[in-house]
Amino acid sequence: MQLILVRHAQPVRIEQAEGAADPGLAGIGVEQAERVPAALSHHRIKRVVSSPQRRARETALPTAAKLGLEVEVLDGLAEYDRDLPAYIPIEDAKVEFRAEYDRIKAGHLPTVIDELAFKSRVLDTITDIAVRADHTDTVVAFAHGGVINILLQDVLGLARPLTFPIDYCSITRVLFSRTGRRTAATINENGHVWELLPRNISA
């Protein structure tokens, strides 16, 4: 089976929430999300799943609507930041929280995160997706940079959990064979949103 992982589109910033920060999409994020259906149009998608976090669910909506499928929310696809009271986009953290930004860019999860628990939750959820699919199915999962990287770390046998930069609405494809072999077919495909990414808008 083929698992297509789409990172959520660009969300709004939340500096302090009463509970866990759960931002929706910014205006530019809505535009990014609307590019995804065309980018996936040559795949025969059987199922659409999403993280429970609002930014992922909102990103999934245009694709699900185009396909005529429901978005199935899977709690295990939530990002490592799900319980934190703030959401600072990584492009803002580069300037305002440099030490934490440098740690993430070096491939490590934030110090407050239970890495083993996060990995276990993500990999168990993805294994369940694969087990439930027919070998010819394509499933698209709308998730997060950390979630996508955890799978890639496991598939590729990498030392660090956050090896790859994963852009907003980028596409990563992992193939699962009937023998259990997993192959990373593509990582961070972003041509469909290239000019809408923060680094290119500000350039």
Q: What is the pLDDT of residues 107-166, one digit of tens each?
A: 899 888 999 999 999 999 999 999 999 999 999 999 999 999 999 999 999 999 999 999
Domain holding 98, by residue range, is 2-45+52-201
By CB atoms closer than 10 A (0-12, 13-18, 19+), residue 124 is exposed
Distance CA 61, CA 37 (A): 10
Confidence (pLDDT) at 92: 78
Average pLDDT of the residues in 5-16: 94
Distance CA 96, CA 88 (A): 9
pTM of the model: 0.94
Phi, psi of 122 (to 5 degrees): -65, -50
Weakest mean pLDDT among 52-56, 96-100, 114-118, 169-173? 96-100
Distance CA 152, CA 195 (A): 26
Q: Which helix (H) or strand (E) holds 67?
A: helix 54-67
Domain count, the chain: 1
CATH (domain of 123): 3.40.50.1240
